[in-house]
A and B are shown apart, each in its own frame.
Chain A
């Protein structure tokens, strides 16, 4: 809550905290400029941060359980790359739809198109990774395969960019920096619906995820239909990661870092606790990242991706060092 308030309160234009609370409680009495900034810019951005934090963290948690690999996450295993490919496909196909902004003007149908493309891209890459990984036993190799597929996807995008017009590339590049600010109104509603749906599916499959902690064979011996479970998890992960990537760009590291932080904080491996826990920690971390990105007191706003990497990377290092002391994840 405090982080949420701070996130709304801090920005390039100074608005006192008291006024912010005032606006949030009773909008009628407030200064119209401030009201506009809060309602149209900061509030949606903070809400987006919450939704993105939840979605990415939960998708990361699911990936880590599915692959039984502590370094798995949407950005590492090429899921984000797949989503990017989907978005690039839509954005760079010159002629029909020219830029992200024109897509936004298209309203709901355009947003759905991007979400769909992004989710399908994410699902395709994840399916590919899972298909290959089903014939592999070593999780580290699966990870390498995922990273490689991610690289392939990115180079396809690069080739495409090479042949595209500069304006289109610029739009796409800005998108890749990641931004929480571009999501407003209807899109926020849709993103929220997508993330809530994905998280709900994930929460409902928490029992499955628990069983998968022991590996496919044990899960099978306990009555899990592993293939169906995989599909379910891949589906909700793609929905979460794909949807978020479509609107906010590829935001890295939250998906890897938050599940680890949550496990450490809640000291459990029970997904019934971990999934809500991830939402909480993810929200908090995303809001903090957003606050930092605004560089309070200055006029500049950094791309959110820069900050998440700055926060996320130390966590990854911490995991690798910690693994030497304690096996597993």
Chain B
């Protein structure tokens, strides 16, 4: 059974494939600034792909190149086996739809009209909508939950609502591939999670391939089927999120002075570590947050059960107590704050 599944995956053809792709932008005549080279990327139907990388490493350029808005420097982009350069703009628009960072706050444009613009490549030369167009639009509105404000003007929407509307427009364009450039950039946390969940569900339900550039590392780790990790030197690491964590690509891409990616938790820590080491014993929520608090205060968490400095967290009926042991000297704290104060008084070993 397992074997069958592996074979099935191997036989599936990619929706989009780049080979030997170099991307960059023109600085002037015959002067091309190359950002990344030798990119061999693949997108499959039903996948959410997160493109990660620090600011200014060329994420937008890659997205624009893959979407055919910008020319490739060297190499090819193929969509369903056809070279991108050989597709007419109108044909390409039926393959890839986009959500960009461009502001579209035309005050008089209402939400429904904007979503309906997604039908542009499908509708006739005057843009009249057929019954089929309308049902696709309704479906897009339904799946993005934008029905509640479909007749409002664009200028009256919040950032989160606006982003959902732009996604609905892309869905209405009815393409196998959707590309989103930093869709979560100006959103608050609940809206970010909502949008990412929506994209995840969309890829699952409709078998679209969705490519998202984002800075939301933790969200990307949760929803992405594949991660393209771009590094400032133009190198690209690709794979399952878990693979990239395990093989140290994440740490390599994001480690800057004082910021450390912790493969054990999948998150970043900001502290300057290595000064003091502490062992934390205990299970559950209290122990977890104790570790977080200690990390923040500049401790590293020792993997050993017993270190020169050891905290044991015990939970009794929801009331945690902290027992701090140091060279047979034992202090019991009843609040996390007490623990941190006590621990801070200890000189580094």
Contact = CB atoms under 8 A, between A and B. Distances in A.
A272 interface: yes
A272 to B, nearest CB: 6
Contact of B105 (A206, A210, A218, A327): A327
Nearest to B67: A221
A225 to B, nearest CB: 5
B120 A207 contact: yes
A263 B106 CA distance: 12
B125 A329 contact: no
A221 B155 CA distance: 22
Interface in B156-170: 156
A206 B127 contact: yes
B105 A223 contact: no
B6 to A, nearest CB: 36
B291 to A, nearest CB: 45
Interface in A187-225: 204, 206-207, 210-211, 213-215, 217-218, 220-225
A7 to B, nearest CB: 30
B88 to A, nearest CB: 8
B102 interface: yes
Nearest to A264: B108
A327 B106 CA distance: 7
Given A207-B126, A269-B113, A223 B92 contact: yes
A326 B154 CA distance: 10
Interface string B93-126: 1101110101111111110011001101101011
Contacts of A328: 105-109, 154-155
A329 B110 CA distance: 12
Given A207-B127, A327-B155, A221 B109 contact: no
Nearest to B92: A223
B231 to A, nearest CB: 26
Nearest to A68: B106
A206 to B, nearest CB: 7
Secondary structure of the A side of the interface?
loop
Give the interface centre of A268, A272, A328, A329 by most chain B CB atoms within 10 Å: A328
A220 B120 CA distance: 11
A222 B106 contact: no
A217 B173 CA distance: 15
Interface residues of A, number: 27
A327 B108 CA distance: 10
A224 B93 CA distance: 9
Contacts of B114: 214
Interface string A315-329: 000000000001111
Contacts of A327: 105, 107, 155
Nearest to B103: A215
Given A207-B127, A210-B117, A328-B154, A225 B89 contact: yes
B7 interface: no
A207 B123 contact: yes
A223 B89 contact: yes
B69 interface: yes
Interface string B123-158: 101111000000000000000000000000111100
B90 interface: yes
A214 B93 contact: no
A183 B155 CA distance: 43
Contacts of B105: 327-328
Given A204-B125, A327-B155, A217 B120 contact: no
A211 B104 contact: no
Contact of B113 (A217, A220, A268): A268
Interface in A65-108: 68
Contact of B108 (A207, A217, A222, A268): A268
Contacts of A161: none
B102 A215 contact: yes
Contacts of B97: 221-222
6 contacts: A213-B104, A215-B102, A217-B69, A220-B69, A223-B90, A224-B89
Interface of A: 68, 204, 206-207, 210-211, 213-215, 217-218, 220-225, 263, 267-270, 272, 326-329
Question: Which A-B residue pairs are the 7 nearest by beta carbons?
Answer: A223-B93, A328-B107, A207-B127, A223-B90, A222-B120, A221-B98, A269-B108
